[in-house]
Amino acid sequence: MGRETTTSVNRRTDIVSAAIEVFAEIGYYRATTAQVAERAAISQPYVYRFFTKESLLVEALTVSWQRVLRAFEGVIAASAPEKLEEGLIRAYEDIIASHRSEILLQMQAQTIREEPVRDAMRQGLEAVRARVVLAFEQAGFADAEQRTSDFLARGMLCNVSMALDLPGLLVKR
């Protein structure tokens, strides 16, 4: 990869990271690409070189879902069947702690009606669901679908608990 290409990739990453923070802080509809550009310390036209506002949100969501999948893949590869669910829970708790803005962004995106955004959310959630179901099946759980549904529901409750700063919503297992 040439120097210019590497710089472009790095700048795209910087823009997406800035967008995640800005969108999570003030919301997609209130945020502007000028605010994203300012956060990324670049010009607004440079943002438009890579993204529209909507495509930037879709890319930010894609990045956040990929992070969840990568974390889960690491757990799945390293866990004994009896420790799988506990490992997935810990991995998700780590994501919430270290990438809070990405989770807040996903929560906001659930209410956005634009089809590309809805597609990104559907694809991300379905990829996570499918991977967790497969992991539970491979671990020998007869109730893999129900267990996955419960796991995802608990994750969504974790999101609400984190967003509202209400740790009492969750009961430790």
Domain ranges of the chain: 3-169
pLDDT at residue 50, rounded to an integer: 95
The separation between the first and the last C-alpha atoms of the chain, rounded to the nearest angstrom, is 48
pLDDT at residue 63, rounded to an integer: 97
Q: Report the pLDDT averaged over residues 92-112.
A: 96
| Average pLDDT score, the chain | 94
| Confidence class for position 37, pLDDT limits 50, 70, 90 | very high
What values do phi and psi take at 2, rounded to 5?
A: -75, 165
Residue length, the chain?
A: 173
At 129-167, the pLDDT tens digits run: 999 999 999 999 999 999 999 999 999 999 999 999 998
**Angle separating helix axes 33-40 and 3-26, nearest 10 degrees:** 120
Name which of 109, 112, 70 is nearest 91 in CA terms: 70
Token pair in block for residue 13:
């990453």
At 108-131, the pLDDT tens digits run: 999 999 999 999 999 999 999 999
Q: What is the CATH number of domain 3-169?
A: 1.10.357.10
Longest C-alpha distance within the chain, in Å?
Answer: 54
Report whether 51 contacts 15 (CB < 8 A). yes
pLDDT at residue 172, rounded to an integer: 61
| Confidence class for position 62, pLDDT limits 50, 70, 90 | very high
Report whether 49 contacts 112 (CB < 8 A). no
pTM listed for this prediction: 0.92
DSSP helix, strand, coil percent of the chain (3-state; round to 5): 80, 0, 20
Torsion of CA 48, 2, 71, 81, to 10 degrees: 140
pLDDT at residue 9, rounded to an integer: 85
